[in-house]
């Protein structure tokens, strides 16, 4: 298998995985926001039951936010290894401009990982804040002795 094909597989595989994880993050985030808008706190008699429903999918979003940079870094490391392999194959005709181009392109995987991780982390923190607020509202509602349906 030629090196350029292997480089494309690494590039598209890592970038494709990061795009997929970004899609999953936004799907879960939209689902959570819609759920939080429709949740009826009075339907819950136990706090843990409410907490379980409110925190659904949050760990997946947190995992994506914390692991996306590592996936991007993996792509960068693999691309740099391939770049060094290309340099080793062309010892007598090394073009510094071509080497710099390959190294710069290798960093795109790290950038893509950060582009996925930063919004995922922001979304996770925003949703967690909403969960905390809804749990606090449930506690206040129950402390006042309101009847539950």
Reported as a single tens digit per residue, the pLDDT across 71-123 is: 999 999 988 888 888 788 776 777 788 788 878 888 999 999 999 999 999 99
* Half-sphere exposure of residue 91: CA atoms within 13 angstroms, side-chain side: 2
pTM: 0.84
Of 35 and 145, more confident: 35
pLDDT at 148 > cutoff 60: no
Whole-number pLDDT of residue 11: 79
pLDDT at 14 > cutoff 50: yes
Tokens for 8, please give them: 């494309």
Which range has the worst mean pLDDT, 48-52, 66-70, 124-128, 142-146? 142-146
Whole-number pLDDT of residue 126: 97
Torsion of CA 129, 132, 133, 134, to 10 degrees: 120
Length reported for the chain: 149
């Amino acid at each position: 298998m030629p090196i350029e094909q292997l480089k494309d597989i690494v590039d598209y595989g890592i970038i494709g995985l990061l795009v997929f994880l970004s899609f999953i993050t936004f799907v879960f985030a939209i689902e959570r926001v819609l759920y939080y808008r429709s949740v009826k706190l009075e339907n819950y008699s136990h706090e843990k039951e409410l907490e379980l429903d409110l925190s659904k999918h949050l760990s997946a979003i947190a995992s994506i936010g914390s692991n996306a940079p590592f996936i991007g870094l993996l792509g960068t490391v693999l691309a740099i290894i391939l770049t060094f392999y290309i340099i080793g194959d062309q010892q007598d005709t090394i073009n510094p401009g071509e080497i710099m181009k390959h190294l710069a392109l290798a960093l795109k995987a790290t950038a893509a990982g950060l582009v996925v991780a930063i919004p995922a982390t922001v979304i996770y923190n925003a949703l967690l804040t909403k969960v905390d607020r809804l749990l606090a509202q449930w506690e206040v509602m129950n402390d006042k002795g309101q009847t539950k349906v």
